[in-house]
C-alpha cells in the first residue's frame, strides 16, 4: 500500500516537472520572440537597470538555455512566479492566491454535487432499466450536456439574472459586502455562486449519470448480484451495497481523469459571470498579454489538478480492498 502511494506520488512529481518544463519551453518555442514583446510593455514604466533585473527575475537573459532553465527552476522552488504586468507591481503569486480560492470553491462544490447526483441518478436508471428515468431523463441530460458550459451559463445568466432578476449578475459577492466570516457574507457568496455552479452541474450531470448507468448495468448482470438476490436481501441493499458500491469504482477513476476537463469548462463559466477565479484571471492575462501571470496561472491550475488526481487515487485505494492489497 505504501509502495503504491509512493509510485503514484512519483508519477505526479514527474507530471509536475513536465508541466514546469512545458511552461518554460512554450514561450521560448513561440515565433516572434514574445519575451521581448512582453518586456517592451515595461518600457518607460521602469528604469533600464530595473529592466535588466526584471529580465533576470523572469529568467530571460542572454545566458544559454540550460542556465536560464535552472534559474527558472530555482525561482519556482522559492515560490517566485515573477511579477504581473497587468497588476504591476503585484507579484503573480499574490494575484493568483485569491483567484485560486474562488475557483476551487466554485468548481469543487459544483463537481462534487454533479458527480454525487449524477451517479445516484445513474444507479436508479440502471436499476429501473427502461423506466422513465432511463429512457426519459438520460437523453434529456445528454442533450443538455451537448451545450458548451459557457453557453448554458450565458442562458442561465440571461434568464435568471437579466430577465427574472432572481440572482446577481456578476462577481462572487456584492460590492457593498465586507468580506469576512459573517453569515451575511456567506449568504451573499452562496447567492452569487448559485448560477455558475448550477450551470456547471447541469452541463456535467448527464455524463456522470450515463457513465454510472453503464457500469451499473454491467455490474447488475454479474453473479454477485444474482447471489445477493438469491439470499433474499432487501432490494435497496442489493442496489446500493452490492451493485452501486462496486459500479462506483471505475467511475471514481474516471472522475479523477475528468477533473481537469471539468475545471477547463468551469474556467469558461467564470468568464461569463466575471467570477474572480483563475479562469477569469487567465483570460484577463491573455487579453492584456500579461505572460508572467498567464504562465503562473497555467502552472498553478495544473498543480491543483494533479493534487486533485492524487486525492482521487487515495479515495480509490480506500474504496477498493483489492487495490489496497495489491498496492
Partner 1 sequence: MHDSLRSLLRHRKAAVGGSLLLFFLLLALVGPWFVMDPSELVGRPHQPPSSAHWFGTTGQGQDVLAQTVVGARETLAVGFAVGALVTLVGALVGVTAGYLGRRVDDVLSLTTNVFLVIPGMPLAIVLGAYLPSGPLRMVAVLTVAGWAWNARVFRAESLALRGRDFVSAAVVTGESHARIVSRELLPNMASLLGSSFIGNTLYAVGAQVGLEFLGLGDVSAVTWGTNLYWAGNDAALLTRSWWIFVPTGLGIALVGFALTLVSSAIDELTNPALRVHKPAPLPRGTTLPVHVDRPAPGVLLSVQDLCIDYATEKGASRVVDTVSFDLAPGEVFGLAGESGSGKSTIGSALLGLLPSSARVTQGRILFNGMDVTALEGAGLRAFRWRQVSMVFQSAMSALNPVLTLGEQFHDTLAAHGRVSRTASYARARELLGMVGLSPDLVTAYPHQLSGGMRQRVGIALALALEPRLVIMDEPTTALDVVVQKELLQRMLELKQRLGFAILFITHDLPLLLALSDRVGILQGGKLVEVNTSEGLRTGARHPYTQLLLSSFPHLVAGDVSVTPHPPAVSELSVARPSTRIAAIPGGHR
User: In terms of CB distance, is 193 or 219 closer to partner 1?
Assistant: 219
Which member of 57, 104, 113, 155 binds partner 1 (CB under 8 A)?
155
CB 197 to partner 1: min, Å? 18
Which member of 30, 63, 112, 314 binds partner 1 (CB under 8 A)?
30
CB 169 to partner 1: min, Å? 8
Residue 42 backbone phi and psi in degrees, to 5: -80, -15
Half-sphere exposure of 144 (CA within 13 A, CB side): 22
User: In terms of CB distance, is 193 or 305 closer to partner 1?
Assistant: 305
Contacts to partner 1 from residues 219-278, by CB under 8 A: 221-224, 226-234, 237, 241-242, 245-246, 249, 257, 260-261, 263-265, 267-268, 271-272
Which member of 32, 44, 89, 165 binds partner 1 (CB under 8 A)?
32
User: In terms of CB distance, is 24 or 115 closer to partner 1?
Assistant: 24
Which member of 4, 5, 11, 98 binds partner 1 (CB under 8 A)?
11
Contacts to partner 1 from residues 201-220, by CB under 8 A: 214, 217-218
CB 178 to partner 1: min, Å? 28
Which member of 24, 58, 127, 150 binds partner 1 (CB under 8 A)?
150
C-alpha cell at 72: 527558472
Which member of 9, 143, 182, 311 binds partner 1 (CB under 8 A)?
143
Contact 122, 157 (CB under 8 A): no
Q: Is the dihedral of CA 35, 36, 38, 43 positive or negative?
A: positive
164 binds partner 1 (CB under 8 A): no
Q: Is the dihedral of CA 95, 96, 97, 99 positive or negative?
A: positive
Residue 156 backbone phi and psi in degrees, to 5: -65, -45
C-alpha cell at 44: 518607460
Which member of 73, 104, 283, 327 binds partner 1 (CB under 8 A)?
283
User: In terms of CB distance, is 150 or 167 closer to partner 1?
Assistant: 150
Which member of 96, 124, 305, 316 binds partner 1 (CB under 8 A)?
305
105 binds partner 1 (CB under 8 A): no
317 binds partner 1 (CB under 8 A): no
| Cα separation of the two ends of the chain | 4
C-alpha cell at 182: 459573517
- SS3 assignment, position 209: helix
Distance CA 255, CA 145 (A): 16
User: In terms of CB distance, is 121 or 306 closer to partner 1?
Assistant: 306
Query: What's CA 161's distance to the chain center, in Å?
Result: 25
Residue 229 backbone phi and psi in degrees, to 5: -65, -45
User: In terms of CB distance, is 70 or 162 closer to partner 1?
Assistant: 162
Phi-psi region of 232 (alpha: psi -120 to 50; beta: other; left: phi over 0): left
Sorted by sequence, the CB contacts under 8 Å of residue 135 that are 6+ apart come out as none
Number of residues counted as binding partner 1 (CB under 8 A): 88
Sorted by sequence, the CB contacts under 8 Å of residue 266 that are 6+ apart come out as 103, 106, 107, 110, 111, 149, 196, 200, 277, 279
Contacts to partner 1 from residues 38-77, by CB under 8 A: none
The window from 79-87, 97-105, 180-188, 296-304 that contacts partner 1 (CB under 8 A) reads: 296-304
Amino acid at each position: 500500500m505504501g509502495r503504491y502511494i509512493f509510485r503514484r506520488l512519483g508519477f505526479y512529481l514527474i507530471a509536475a516537472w513536465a508541466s514546469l518544463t512545458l511552461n518554460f519551453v512554450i514561450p521560448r518555442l513561440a515565433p516572434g520572440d514574445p519575451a521581448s514583446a512582453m518586456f517592451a510593455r515595461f518600457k518607460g514604466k521602469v528604469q533600464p537597470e530595473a529592466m535588466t533585473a526584471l529580465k533576470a527575475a523572469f529568467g530571460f537573459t542572454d545566458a544559454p538555455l540550460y542556465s536560464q532553465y535552472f534559474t527558472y527552476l530555482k525561482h519556482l522552488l522559492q515560490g517566485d512566479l515573477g511579477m504581473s504586468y497587468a497588476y504591476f507591481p503585484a507579484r503573480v503569486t499574490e494575484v493568483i492566491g485569491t483567484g485560486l480560492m474562488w475557483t476551487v470553491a466554485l468548481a469543487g462544490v459544483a463537481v462534487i454535487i454533479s458527480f454525487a447526483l449524477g451517479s445516484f441518478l445513474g444507479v436508479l436508471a440502471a436499476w429501473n432499466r427502461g423506466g422513465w428515468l432511463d429512457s426519459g431523463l438520460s437523453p434529456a441530460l445528454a442533450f443538455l450536456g451537448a451545450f458548451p458550459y459557457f453557453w448554458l451559463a450565458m442562458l442561465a445568466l440571461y434568464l435568471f439574472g437579466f430577465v427574472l432578476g432572481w440572482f446577481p449578475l456578476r462577481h462572487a459577492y456584492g460590492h457593498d459586502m465586507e468580506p469576512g466570516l459573517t453569515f451575511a457574507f456567506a449568504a451573499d457568496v452562496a447567492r452569487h455562486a448559485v448560477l455558475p455552479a448550477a450551470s456547471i452541474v447541469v452541463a456535467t450531470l448527464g455524463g456522470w449519470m450515463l457513465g454510472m448507468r453503464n457500469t451499473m448495468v454491467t455490474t447488475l448482470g454479474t453473479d454477485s448480484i444474482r447471489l445477493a438476490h438469491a439470499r433474499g436481501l432487501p432490494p435497496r441493499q442489493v442496489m446500493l451495497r452490492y451493485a452501486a458500491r462496486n459500479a462506483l469504482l471505475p467511475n471514481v477513476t474516471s472522475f479523477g481523469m475528468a477533473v481537469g476537463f471539468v475545471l477547463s469548462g468551469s474556467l469558461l463559466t467564470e468568464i461569463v459571470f466575471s467570477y474572480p477565479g483563475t479562469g477569469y484571471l487567465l483570460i484577463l492575462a491573455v487579453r492584456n498579454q500579461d505572460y508572467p501571470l498567464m504562465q503562473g496561472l497555467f502552472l498553478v491550475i495544473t498543480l491543483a489538478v494533479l493534487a486533485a488526481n492524487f486525492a482521487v487515487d487515495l479515495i480509490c485505494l480506500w474504496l477498493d480492498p483489492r487495490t489496497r492489497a495489491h498496492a
